[in-house]
Amino acid sequence: MAHPQIAIFDRLSNGGEPPRRLIFGQPTLLSRTMHDIRYHEGRDEILVTNPFAQAVLIFRGDSDGQTAPVRIIQGPRTGFNSIDTVGIDPVNDEIYIPDGPNIKVFPGDANGDVAPIRVVEAGADMGWRPSRGIGIDYVHDVIATDGTLMGEALENDDFKNPYRGGRDSVFVFPRLAEGKIKPLRMIRGDKTGIFGIRQMDLYPKGGWIVVAQITSGSVPIPEGTFVGIWGIYDNGNVAPRWKIEGKASNILAKPRGVTLNPKHKELLVSDMRLNSVMTFSFPEMFDTVAQPPPSQ
Amino acid sequence: MKTKNPQTRAWFLGALGLVMAASWVLIPGGSGQGLSLGGPRLVRIDSLPAIEFSSEMCAWMPAATTASPALFSMALQQRNETAVESREVLDRPPVRVIKDPFPTFSAVAVDMVNNEIVLQDENLFQIMAYDSSTNTPPTAALSEPKRVIGGHHTKMEFNCGLYIDPGNGDIYSVNNDTIDTMVIFSRDAKGDVPPTRELSTPHGTYGIAVDEAAEELFLSVQHASSVVIYNKDAEGDAAPIRMIVGNSTKMADPHGIALDTSRGELFVANYGNFSAYQPGLERGGGGGTGGAGRINGSGRFFPPSISVYPSRGDGDIPPLRVIQGPKTQLNWPGHIAVDEQRGELFVANDGGDSVLVFQVTDEGDVAPTRVITGARTQIKNPTGVTIDKKNQEVIVANMGNHRATVFPIDAAGNVPPLRVIRAAPAGQPALQIGNPGAVSYDTKRDEILVPN
């Protein structure tokens, strides 16, 4: 897109109302391809990535206009190669950066050319690889990420995704996992409806995983798009607990971003085909706790 | 030229409805979903096996700090043994929708034969052709175009680059994201029509320039920090005939490109976002979010620049010269245009709300010859600029205010445009939301954060 920016709207903004603030311009060091954004309430900071410069940019929460980031994580020690998303754990004050087949974890105050404090590694030998969507559940002490199967696990799997992209599964693994690991649980299969998901957000208090599915980025108006919510204990070929399909009556076409506003029990979705942001009232999710299977 | 009286709210509702209806009519098999915008509809009633929150406390389930391969194997084998809960598909429209229902101009080109100004609309994914004389009166809501090309069949999405063939009027439209295809339409194309020709392009293609004499097509690529050169009539999966790419080029997130055919030079506008290639892997085109071929942790920020290359250049070549530094006033340079007759380079300077004019021979940290900027110019977040050689005018596409503004070729300072093409009511803010890949919520200020 021709103009990168972070637009900041009042919660009640509607229609064509202007943003309260805009972060844009050369001093911001922003680029296109900001495929994730997080607000860290404890630090009152906004986090995004600049994939072209292999950098994580951290702005003050009240940034406005052509303002520089307060911190930048960038440099050889980071080992960053292919980064365009970010996750935060506000309770344990950590920053998560998916980077190719790895997920790198930094302290919340990381600055400059610093090495990650933990690296989660996957690959064909582990039977899976993560992609870019990520969320941290500090209550159930797990991380969720999207991705796909690899190696023998993929060859032996019945589910065949007709779309490219490798973002057809949700994996759950321990929060403090480090090194080569295999996930605890996996949500994958035809009943899930997952072919290509993008941003992910978690609601730790209720144990919910919320994902936006665009199906395929290369199809202007793809079929099978939705916003789906799974429980943190869900495992296997299971449909989402709740699903809002991409269709005209839901004013949803190609949902790419998703986040939560627990205070007002709202679900927010950004739509890349409509170039818009929707707010859905979703009290049932915030009033409900995901249940473990009886055997646990 | 048609004009309408201001009816902003009605316009928003009408336009949003039109966008939604058009989108779903075009979804294969999707028209049967209905277009009701009413409240939530009861689909099914299931008992909820869940616990109601009574306080801030909630269930807490400690997890192991390491995962065992056995658990994963079990997960693979027993994937249907999850907790049994109700599963609901909801009919639920949003309570609020933030959307700009009006066109947002990202690029501009001129059809001098047919006296048309053609504009890329990156918000609604369409091309809009106006008569060159169009001038929206201040009291009018907007000006309607003569023709619009847009819809599912056009294969346009995040269309940001534009070129008009001076011979036959063909319209070349560059998609910056998602579809990775340049689409070409005949001059009289209209509505939701398939392109007459398509060329598969690298991901992140932005700028376009054509050497008509050499019959070569130049495209800049953001992700690969490169310029790829094709035969002008290339189509399908045709490969580039040359490629300027590599660490020596000093390209860094390239945007607009322009040719000075009289000097045999190619100008490239760079944002300055850089990561280094592994030597020998440049032509793989990896980088950005792709990663292949880039050196880990090599990312750096450089000041924005205009780099100049021989237009016949190929491979990892250094620039002939670079315009860069604080005196240049460069701030997110978008599309650029060269006036060969005057020997001037025009830069749509997005972050500076300005058009910068340099000499084509400028080098280093130099101030522009002149700058078009200020409240009277109506220039706001300009990303597109082109030259109308016949009428000696410079035309600016402003993403920040739904307008194209037309100036004399020698305009300087805070001057009013000769003409304005406005595609929305005057007071309507341009939200400039484009491919919002994510969203977040500021719980402290109750604000919604939307990145492009």
pLDDT mean for each 10 residues of chain A (296 residues): 95 98 98 96 98 97 98 98 96 97 97 98 94 97 97 94 92 97 96 97 98 92 96 97 97 97 98 97 97 80
A10, A74, A272 ranked by CB distance to B435: nearest: A272
Q: Check A186 against B75: CB less than 8 A apart.
A: yes
Strand B354-359, strand B344-349: pairing: antiparallel
Cα distance between residue B180 and residue B206, in whole Å: 10
Q: Which of B333, B340, B386 is nearest to B164 (CA)?
A: B386
Residue B149 bridge partners (DSSP): B127, B191
For chain A, give the DSSP string: -----EEEEETT--BTPPPSEEE-SGGGT--S-----EEETTTTEEEEEEGGGTEEEEEETT--BS---SEEE-SGGGT--S----EEETTTTEEEEEETTEEEEEETT--BS---SEEEE-BGGGTEEEEEEEEEETTTTEEEEEEEE-HHHHHT-S---SSSSSB-EEEEEETT--EE---SEEE-STTTT-SBEEEEEEETTTTEEEEEE-S-TTSSS-SS-EEEEEETT--BS---SEEEE-SGGGT-SSEEEEEEEGGGTEEEEEETTTTEEEEEE-HHHHT------TT-
Would you say residue B53 has pLDDT above 50?
Answer: no
| Residue B341 CA, distance from chain mean position | 29
B239 in contact with A at a CB cutoff of 8 Å?
Answer: no
B207 in contact with A at a CB cutoff of 8 Å?
Answer: no
Q: Check A221 against B62: CB less than 8 A apart.
A: no
* Chain A neighbors of B26, CB-CB under 8 A: 221
A-chain residue closest to B14, CA distance: A15
Cα distance between residue A216 and residue A110, in whole Å: 34
Which B residues, 121 through 150, put their C-beta within 8 Å of a C-beta on chain A? 122-123, 125
Would you say residue B47 has pLDDT above 80?
Answer: no
Q: How many CB pairs under 8 A join A and B?
A: 484
3-state secondary structure of B67: coil
B290, B446, B451 ranked by CB distance to A11: nearest: B446
Strand A118-121, strand A179-180: pairing: parallel
Specify the pLDDT at position B30.
33
Would you say residue B48 has pLDDT above 70?
Answer: no
Specify the pLDDT at position B12.
46
Å between A146 CA and nearest CA of chain B:
15
pLDDT tens digits along B219-245: 999 999 999 999 999 999 999 999 999
Would you say residue B362 has pLDDT above 80?
Answer: yes
Joined together, the tokens standing for residue A174 give: 């321990």
* Chain A neighbors of B336, CB-CB under 8 A: none
Cα distance between residue B227 and residue B225, in whole Å: 7
B383 in contact with A at a CB cutoff of 8 Å?
Answer: yes
Q: What is the DSSP letter of B157?
A: S
> How far lies A84's CA from each of A51, A111, A203, in Å?
5, 18, 22
Please state the φ and ψ torsions of residue B443, each to the nearest 5 degrees.
Answer: -70, -20
B-chain residue closest to A54, CA distance: B299
Q: Rounded to the nearest 5 degrees, what angle is found at the Cα of A35, between the Cα atoms of A29 and A40?
A: 75
Share of chain B above pLDDT 70, in %: 79
B210: Cα within 13 Å, side-chain hemisphere:
20
B21, B92, B433 ranked by CB distance to A7: nearest: B433
Question: Among A124-138, B168-182, B286-300, B306-320, where is mean pLDDT lowest?
Answer: B286-300
Q: Check B58 against A281: CB less than 8 A apart.
A: no
pLDDT tens digits along B54-66: 333 333 333 333 3
Cα distance between residue A85 and residue A65, in whole Å: 22
Contacts of A46 (CB under 8 A, 6+ apart): A6, A23, A37, A38, A39, A40, A58, A59, A60, A61, A63, B440, B442, B449
A214, A254 contact by CB (below 8 A): yes
B62 in contact with A at a CB cutoff of 8 Å?
Answer: yes
Q: Check B96 against A279: CB less than 8 A apart.
A: yes
Residue B120 bridge partners (DSSP): B107, B127
pLDDT mean over B28-43: 33
A222, A193 contact by CB (below 8 A): no
Cα distance between residue B100 and residue B23, in whole Å: 16
B381, B384, B452 ranked by CB distance to A1: nearest: B452
User: Rg of chain A over CA atoms, in angstroms?
Assistant: 18
Q: Check A241 against B87: CB less than 8 A apart.
A: yes
Specify the pLDDT at position B282.
84
Residue A47 bridge partners (DSSP): A38, A58
* Chain A neighbors of B348, CB-CB under 8 A: none
For A113-157, give the DSSP string: S---SEEEE-BGGGTEEEEEEEEEETTTTEEEEEEEE-HHHHHT-
B6: Cα within 13 Å, side-chain hemisphere:
9
Å between B157 CA and nearest CA of chain A:
7
Specify the pLDDT at position B72.
55
pLDDT tens digits along B134-186: 999 999 999 999 999 999 999 999 999 999 999 999 999 999 988 899 999 99
Q: Which residue has the tokens 């175009």?
A: B145
B420, B135 contact by CB (below 8 A): yes
pLDDT mean over B90-119: 97
* Chain B neighbors of A26, CB-CB under 8 A: 271-272, 303-304, 330-332, 351
B201, B218 contact by CB (below 8 A): no
Specify the pLDDT at position B32.
30
Please state the φ and ψ torsions of residue A54, each to the nearest 5 degrees.
Answer: 50, 55
> How far lies B255's CA from each of A11, B119, B222, B344, B435, in Å?
33, 17, 7, 18, 17
Specify the pLDDT at position B16.
52
B431 in contact with A at a CB cutoff of 8 Å?
Answer: yes
B90 in contact with A at a CB cutoff of 8 Å?
Answer: yes
Top residue of A89, A118, A270 to mutate, by most chain B CBs within 10 Å, is: A270
> How far lies B64's CA from each of A176, A201, B244, in Å?
9, 22, 51
Q: Check A238 against B51: CB less than 8 A apart.
A: no
Specify the pLDDT at position B60.
33
Cα distance between residue B51 and residue A118, in whole Å: 35
Cα distance between residue A141 and residue A152, in whole Å: 29
* Chain B neighbors of A64, CB-CB under 8 A: none
For B200-211, give the DSSP string: E--TTEEEEEEE
What is the amino acid identity at position A10? Answer: D
Q: Which of A197, A228, A190 is nearest to B88 (CA)?
A: A228
* Chain B neighbors of A83, CB-CB under 8 A: 289
Å between B415 CA and nearest CA of chain A:
23
B418: Cα within 13 Å, side-chain hemisphere:
16
Q: Check B383 against A2: CB less than 8 A apart.
A: yes
B-chain residue closest to A143, CA distance: B63
Cα distance between residue A19 and residue A84, in whole Å: 24
- The residue among B23 and A153 whose pLDDT is bigger is A153
For B214-283, give the DSSP string: TTEEEEEETTTTEEEEEETT--BTPPPSEEEESGGG---SEEEEEEETTTTEEEEEE--EE-PBPTT-GG
Q: Check B452 against A4: CB less than 8 A apart.
A: yes
* Chain B neighbors of A44, CB-CB under 8 A: 444
B410 in contact with A at a CB cutoff of 8 Å?
Answer: no
Specify the pLDDT at position B44.
38
Q: Check A3 against B33: CB less than 8 A apart.
A: no
Would you say residue B26 has pLDDT above 80?
Answer: no
Cα distance between residue A75 and residue A62, in whole Å: 26
Q: Check A294 against B83: CB less than 8 A apart.
A: yes
What is the amino acid identity at position B314? Answer: D
Å between A215 CA and nearest CA of chain B:
12
Query: CA end-to-end span of chain A, whole Å?
Result: 47
What is the amino acid identity at position A205? Answer: K
Joined together, the tokens standing for residue B393 give: 């005018």
> How far lies B252's CA from each of B322, B338, B382, in Å?
12, 21, 20
Cα distance between residue B125 and residue B152, in whole Å: 9
* Element holding B71 (H helix, E strand): helix B69-77
* Confidence at B73, pLDDT banded by 50, 70, 90: low
Specify the pLDDT at position B291.
57
Q: Check A3 against B350: CB less than 8 A apart.
A: yes
Q: Rounded to the nearest 5 degrees, what angle is found at the Cα of A25, between the Cα atoms of A90 and B336?
A: 140
B66, B75, B83 ranked by CB distance to A231: nearest: B83
A145, A200 contact by CB (below 8 A): yes
Joined together, the tokens standing for residue B192 give: 């939701």
B200 in contact with A at a CB cutoff of 8 Å?
Answer: no
